[in-house]
Amino acid sequence: MKIVISFICAAIYGLTFFSCPQNDELTKSINRGKQIYTENCITCHLGNGQGVKGTFPPLANADFLIKYPEKSIHAIKFGLQGAIQVNGETYKSAMAPSGLEDDEIADVMNYIRNAFGNKNSKLITVKAVADIKEKQ
What mean pLDDT is reported for the chain? Answer: 88
Sequence spans of domains, the chain: 2-130
Nearest alpha carbon to residue 86 among 40, 44, 121, 55 = 55
Third-level CATH fold of 2-130: Cytochrome Bc1 Complex; Chain D, domain 2 (1.10.760)
Angle of helix 102-112 relative to helix 21-40, nearest 10 degrees, comes to 100
- Contacts with 50 (C-beta within 8 Å, 6 or more apart), sequence order: 58, 60, 116
Buried/exposed code over 54-67 (b: 16+ C-beta within 10 A; e: otherwise) = eebbbbbebebbee
pLDDT digits (tens, 9 = 90+) for 31-82: 999 999 999 999 999 999 999 999 999 999 999 999 999 999 999 999 999 9
pLDDT digits (tens, 9 = 90+) for 79-112: 999 999 999 999 998 999 999 999 999 999 999 9
